[in-house]
Amino acid sequence: MSLKSSQWMFVLCTLLAVALAPVAIVAQAPSTHSTPTPPPPAPPQSVVVTNTTAQPVPTVAQGTTAVNGTVNIGNTPSVTLAGTPNVALAPGASVNVTNPVNGVNQEPLLVTEARNRWEDTCTVTFSGVSGSCLFRTVPANTVLVVRAFSAFGGVDTGVRPVSLTLQTTVSHYFPATVMATNAGGFDYLATHQETWVYVNQNNPPGCDIILSGVSNSGNYQCSISGYLVPLF
């Protein structure tokens, strides 16, 4: 090949290379209208939070929650208990209960009969056809509730109590039953009856007996049992 032909061949190849270069660039460039494929989601990961007791994580109790140790309640909050739950107090614990005035009188919360019990007796000696005796005076700021009245005595044979009464602000009548007659000429009678009798403060209840005839040698023992209710 001549030198001139070689030059022409070089020029022709150069022109072809310049002409084909944009086409190759366009073919290699990515399309602006294609949608990229999203990456796959990351798998779930466990999160462990570690806090000391000085920096606890706040939580909300759900359902039944067990609490260990001592629970301190500040101020004086109101606590509402649903239903009728059982509340256990630790040994030595105490509960203060207030009882407000109901407008006129205060209501006693509880009167324990065994703790405030009241028992007394008095002796009736007859002078003619009657006799009486007084029990102890009811203390101030209390009311005596008499729950039982008893009486036992001897009178001349044939003589009977016409009336046997427990005296308060009114008369309370009780029956007498003949028990026996002894060789000395006395009839013995007894009375025992449950009752509800109230005796006001600072007053002594009494036992009064009226006989059907004279009995100067007879006598009677009257007894009462009950309890005191404090007045507020």
Give residue-wise pLDDT tens across range 83-138: 778 878 888 787 776 655 555 555 555 556 777 899 999 999 998 899 999 999 99
Amino acid residing at 64? T
> Averaged over 177-201, what is the pLDDT?
94
Model pLDDT for residues 153-185, shown as the tens digit of each residue? 999 999 999 999 999 999 999 999 999 998 888
- Give this prediction's pTM: 0.54
Cα–Cα dist 177/160, whole Å: 10
**Count of all residues that appear for the chain in the document:** 232
Per the model's pLDDT, the better-predicted residue between 159 and 58 turns out to be 159
| Local confidence band at 75 (pLDDT 50, 70, 90 cut-offs) | confident
Q: Give all strands (DSSP E) within the chain, no chain letters.
A: 117-125, 130-134, 142-156, 161-167, 171-173, 177-181, 186-199, 206-211, 219-230
**In this structure, what is the dihedral angle of CA atoms 187, 192, 196, 202, given to the nearest 10 degrees?**
60
pLDDT at residue 51 in the model: 77
Cβ atoms within 10 Å, residue 145: 18
Whether the Cβ atoms of residue 223 and residue 174 lie closer than 8 Å to each other: no
Closest of 206, 207, 178 to residue 191, by C-alpha: 178
Beginning with the edge strand found earlier in the chain, give each strand of the sheet holding 206-211 in spatial order: 130-134, 206-211, 161-167, 171-173
The more confidently predicted of residues 215 and 80 is 215
Band (pLDDT 50/70/90 cuts) for residue 46 is confident
Count the Cβ atoms, other than its own, within 10 Å of residue 116: 15
Query: What is the C-alpha to C-alpha distance for residues 168 and 203, in angstroms, rounded to an integer?
Result: 8
Mean pLDDT of the residues in the chain: 82
The structure tokens listed for 38 are: 């999203």
Could you count the other beta carbons within 10 Å of the beta carbon of residue 4? 8
Say if residue 23's pLDDT is above 70: no
